[in-house]
Copies of this chain bind each other. A is one copy, B any other.
Amino acid sequence: MKRTHLFVVAVYLLSSCRAEEGLSFPTYDGKDRVVSLTEKNFKQVLKKYDLLCLYYHEPVSSDKVAQKQFQMKEIVLELVAQVLEHKDIGFVMVDAKKEAKLAKKLGFDEEGSLYVLKGDRTIEFDGEFAADVLVEFLLDLIEDPVEIINSKLEVQAFERIEDHIKLIGFFKSEDSEYYKAFEEAAEHFQPYIKFFATFDKGVAKKLSLKMNEVDFYEPFMDEPIAIPDKPYTEEELVEFVKEHQRPTLRRLRPEDMFETWEDDLNGIHIVAFAERSDPDGYEFLEILKQVARDNTDNPDLSIVWIDPDDFPLLVAYWEKTFKIDLFKPQIGVVNVTDADSVWMEIPDGDDLPTAEELEDWIEDVLSGKINTEDDDSEDEEDEEDDDDNDDDDDNSDEGDDDSDDDDD
């Protein structure tokens, strides 16, 4: 591929002056592993790998900033390609203008997206474009789509997973046609949704699973839903999962954060910040789970939980954008078009709202009583119209200061 110079190469650095061996972070070695895909080399490249990772990009412009951003994406991809060199994964670039025909054939529509071809499936990566996140995503994709649960300890491991959707089915054996349908269904959602299976009667009993039954677990819910009308075809399973894919409480994850964010409800997200490793944050998350359990049947409610520990580089950005302190738990409404927001007033971590108070607040959000626009109009009218807002304390004080260039 035609390559602009890559001056600075390594994103993660080798700590080169240490005597010990065993922990050497990779540095980009400068070799070109990412190739440009064309109609001519497409078939040959595709045949060569189990997995093909395609970066679908707009034509590189003459704009310097855009060029640098493109170079950085290239470097991230080159580093990922280097790190996974022995894993049989190909990495290519697809120029949206030059290869428009090919892109159309592949069904690519969003420039700047990363797609992965695996067999006859196309998987879109819509997460943080960072080498570590990408590597983990790809490693998860080359694992088996279904994880087998064999023992009581593994049941414990299965039960501990609470912060994303999981499914488990009980089948006679790996050769069962119903297991095969389950496996095919799993491939539609790999690596975002985890599918488990067991062939062990004891395990099935522990999980109250009947033969050929598949249970669907919504995040943070104790009880699963048994998918009705077993046994199922692949299509029935896929359809059920798609219908139930938006949970009442969901965790923002680096590997699909943008997809989650794009899945807003009427242009807003209810966002809760809680650091699970912190006692206040843990407590707040427990309250959120309670609220989610009480409201699991409300299709209009989907709270996005963000653990600041998962996004260290965004903490200061969020504090500035939303004008909140992330050393304590927070819950608010965010308008996804302009990131305008209002936040519930939580005096401090020792005085968290109860589940009931939270539910009242959420009700006010869903009814529009609390919204991100009211405080804006107050600002515009120089706060003369304070009584526009006929509630006592449904808006946080922190929404009042709305200046955009607060620079101190």
A261 at the interface (CB under 8 A from B): yes
A135 at the interface (CB under 8 A from B): yes
A1 at the interface (CB under 8 A from B): no
Partner of A286, one of B150, B153, B279: B153
A207 at the interface (CB under 8 A from B): no
Contact flag A316-B85 (CB < 8 Å), given A72-B13, A282-B157: yes
A154 at the interface (CB under 8 A from B): yes
Interface-central residue, A22, A27, A157, by most chain B CB under 10 Å: A22
Contact flag A10-B156 (CB < 8 Å), given A139-B312, A257-B23: no
Smallest beta-carbon distance A256→chain B, Å: 12
Smallest beta-carbon distance A333→chain B, Å: 11
Per-residue CB contact flags for chain A residues 140-157 toward chain B (1 = under 8 Å, else 0) read 000100011111011011
CA distance A9 to B338 in the complex (A): 26
* CB-based contact A68/B279 at 8 Å: no
A245 at the interface (CB under 8 A from B): no
* CB-based contact B337/A20 at 8 Å: yes
* CB-based contact B10/A262 at 8 Å: no
A158 at the interface (CB under 8 A from B): yes
* CB-based contact A314/B25 at 8 Å: yes
A229 at the interface (CB under 8 A from B): no
Residue on B nearest A130 in the bound complex, by CB: B12
Smallest beta-carbon distance A164→chain B, Å: 10
A283 at the interface (CB under 8 A from B): yes
A277 at the interface (CB under 8 A from B): yes
Q: Which of A145-202 contact B (CB under 8 A)?
A: 147-151, 153-154, 156-158, 160-161, 196
Task: Classify chain A: how many residues form its interface, as a range.
Answer: 35 or more
Q: Which residues on B sit within 8 Å (CB–CB) of A389? A: none
Q: Which residues on B sit within 8 Å (CB–CB) of A83? A: 313, 315-317
* CB-based contact A72/B8 at 8 Å: yes
CA distance A370 to B17 in the complex (A): 30
Smallest beta-carbon distance A3→chain B, Å: 13
* CB-based contact A336/B68 at 8 Å: no
* CB-based contact A75/B313 at 8 Å: no
Residue on B nearest A311 in the bound complex, by CB: B132
Q: Which residues on B sit within 8 Å (CB–CB) of A131? A: 312-313
A233 at the interface (CB under 8 A from B): no
Per-residue CB contact flags for chain A residues 281-298 toward chain B (1 = under 8 Å, else 0) read 111001000000000000
A112 at the interface (CB under 8 A from B): yes
Smallest beta-carbon distance A194→chain B, Å: 9
* CB-based contact B282/A313 at 8 Å: no
Smallest beta-carbon distance A129→chain B, Å: 5
A136 at the interface (CB under 8 A from B): yes
Seed contacts A10-B72, A11-B130; 8 additional CB < 8 Å A-B pairs: A8-B68, A16-B112, A17-B112, A20-B261, A85-B316, A136-B312, A158-B279, A160-B282
Q: Which residues of A approach B to under 8 Å, CB–CB?
A: 5-27, 58, 68-69, 71-73, 75-76, 79, 83-87, 111-112, 128-133, 135-136, 139, 143, 147-151, 153-154, 156-158, 160-161, 196, 257-258, 261-262, 264, 269, 277-283, 286, 309, 312-317, 319-321, 327, 334, 336-339, 350, 408
Subset of 22 A-B contacts with CB under 8 Å? A5-B7, A7-B7, A10-B69, A10-B72, A11-B130, A18-B262, A20-B258, A20-B261, A21-B336, A21-B337, A22-B339, A24-B314, A24-B317, A25-B314, A25-B317, A26-B316, A79-B313, A83-B316, A86-B316, A86-B408, A154-B280, A157-B281
